[in-house]
A = this chain, B = another copy of it.
């Protein structure tokens, strides 16, 4: 895959994503966000919907769930950094969390 973001694309994508709570991860070329839901059913229900999309997009998150909280890290392991796929998956996660 050669979809690594160039500097301009990266700056644009991060500007958009930061508005919804995404942050760059220190020490890694990755982005992270913590999602909070009303309870476990809502949190895991969202994860299940994301999981199906992630599999369909063939791009999977690193994520951690504790009750109603889900911490997500996105990066593209195959290119060792952020790609267009991370941006797409982040935006899909936002949409599914509305």
Which residues does A use to contact B, with CB under 8 Å? 40-41, 44, 47-48, 51, 54-55, 60-67
Contact = CB atoms under 8 A, between A and B. Distances in A.
A63 B64 contact: yes
Given A48-B51, A60-B67, A61-B65, 12 more contacts: A41-B55, A44-B48, A44-B55, A47-B47, A48-B48, A60-B66, A62-B65, A62-B66, A63-B64, A63-B65, A64-B64, A64-B65
Contact of A44 (B41, B51, B64): B51
Nearest to A41: B55
Contact of A60 (B40, B48, B51, B54): B40
Contacts of A64: 62-65
